[in-house]
Amino acid sequence: MNINFKKNFIMFQITILFFFILYLVYSISGRNGFENVNYLDGVDAIYWINLDRSVERRTHMENVLSDPTFNNIPNHRISATDGKIPDSVPKKLGAYKKQHEMSDYEYACLISHLDAIREFSNSNYKVGLIFEDDVTLEFKKYWKKSVREILDGAPAGWDVITLYYSIQDKKLVEEEYYKHEYRMTYALAYLINNKAAKKFISAHYKNNKYDLSDSHRHTSDWYIYGTLNTYVYKYPMFVYKTENDSTIHEDHLSEHVSKKNDFINAYKELYPDIE
């Protein structure tokens, strides 16, 4: 009896040890981002905006999109309108009133986003993810929900969900889906559904040119987010490069770094076990 008891007890201990080791392996692999989760499930296609002359940025994006995260998601490069080229902006705009504080570079950026949305609207994809060409995956280790889960929980009637925003007071927004405000803009990465894209392009694209309303500032983020029903997702999935340049606003680069550091600190407070 004692021998059998000892054998059973030893087997019980071995079984407990086995499951404990499995738990440790799973926990460690999960913390290091190797869990078998398709976080971009829900994205049907990616559209990334890039100037023909920005060769280094193109290489950067090709490297980013080679990450296994993007496996099996078709991506489409959008050749950006170049504000440096004379008449490149006027020839793409129809009815609009030029806003005096706006540069050709800013209009070119807006047009490039409109081109991305228009190409997406002409597709059969349901959900598109639009990137600017200085996006990174540095926040990947903080991802907790897939895009499909994010969309399933989104407010009814959403048109756009931004996956990056301008953090305020060094804190994440309180609501998981925050109604867009102009102070929180950035068009680095956002989801758009096809119905909204079709509606938007139908209202703005006439005779192969874009008509712009004067009801919103003519920057890509303010105009698109202000026109469509836009929500900010609390936990940004993407972020700018740290060692970055700008083809539009060099003076914004220090702000980008500051905001990025604020997000990192907020994430560290939220997930102290993630290095």
Question: Given pLDDT bands bounded at 50, 70 and 90, which one contains residue 170?
Answer: confident
pLDDT for the residue 254: 66
CB contact at 8 A, 225 and 241:
no
CATH of domain 45-270: 3.90.550
Q: pLDDT > 70: what percent of the chain?
A: 83
**What pLDDT shows up at residue 122?**
99
Domain boundaries, the chain: 1-36, 45-270
Mean pLDDT of 38-58: 98
CB contact burial 11-34 (16+ within 10 A = b; e otherwise):
eeeeeeeeeeeeeeeeeeeeeeee
Q: What is the pTM of this model?
A: 0.83
Q: Yes or no: say if 145 and 258 are a contact pair by the CB < 8 Å rule.
A: no
- The mean pLDDT value for 206-216 works out to 96
120, pLDDT greater than 50: yes
- The pLDDT assigned to 237 comes to 98
User: How far apart, in Å, do the first and last CA atoms of the chain sit?
Assistant: 51
Number of Cβ within a 10 Å radius of residue 221: 24
Return d(Cα 11, Cα 31) in angstroms, integer: 30
- Tokens representing 126 are 């349901």
Within 10 angstroms of residue 228's Cβ, the number of other Cβ atoms is 19
Say whether pLDDT at 27 is over 80: no
| pLDDT band at 252; cut points 50, 70, 90 | low
pLDDT of residue 171 exceeding 80: yes
